[in-house]
Amino acid sequence: MKQALKSELSKQLILNEAFKLFYEDGFKTTSIEKIMKATTLTKGAFYHHYANKKELGLEVITKKVQSRVQKRMVYPLYQNGNAYTILEDTFLNSLKSFSIYEKKHGCPTNNLINEIGDNEKVYQKALKNIIEEWKTALKDLIERGKVENSIKQDISSAAAAIYLISAFEGIRGIRKLYDDDLVINEYLNGLSIYLKQLKQ
């Protein structure tokens, strides 16, 4: 039992350090050696849990990256209450809640999409699943808003969902270029104008 727990803790350590290094330094430039040095575990410990970096990368996407998006941007959309208010709060408040560290490094999902989303089918599928889950939650919320009459009837839920996701991911990337939040504040002003167009 103790050995199984130790093994699981080692695996979590590798996963956590890999996520951190992929986020800070990029996926392609982060080697297995660099990850294991950060964990202080042996290379043998890596191969006990993962066949290669590709397998680890997939687990980082499906367990670490997807979980972050679900917690911040998907699950809040399913809470009870006025659909428009939930939509507004989720997008406006989320950006304000990011730490300086997160603003500096951008969005882990978007970083990986830009770096490896176009050349590996397995990564592409895993990253697409994250976006599709988010998009579905947004569409469901917007349709709910139409029923309760808080969102205009003629709004295309699919179009609004992909626009909101794209704009949100875009500003996370652009913010990496700046040392202050002025660009985020400008984005939030624009987002507020757009959201008001959805309101009934």
All domains of the chain in start order, with CATH: 1-50 (1.10.10.60), 54-198 (1.10.357.10)
Q: What pLDDT score was predicted for residue 194?
A: 97
C-alpha span between 184 and 100 (Å, rounded): 12
Q: Which residues of the chain have pLDDT under 70?
A: 1, 4-5
Residue 52, burial from CB neighbour count under 10 angstroms (0-12, 13-18, 19+): exposed
CB contact set of 100 (below 8 Å; sequence gap of 6+): none
> Could you tell me the pTM of the whole model?
0.93
Q: How far apart are CA 162 and CA 155, in angstroms?
A: 13
Give the helix, strand, coil percentages of the chain, each rounded to 5: 80, 0, 20
- Give the whole-angstrom CA distance, residue 61 versus residue 139: 23
pLDDT at 3: 73
pLDDT at 19: 98
Distance CA 186, CA 189 (A): 5
Count of beta carbons in the 10 Å neighbourhood of residue 165: 19
Residue 164, exposed/middle/buried by CB under 10 A (0-12, 13-18, 19+)?
A: buried
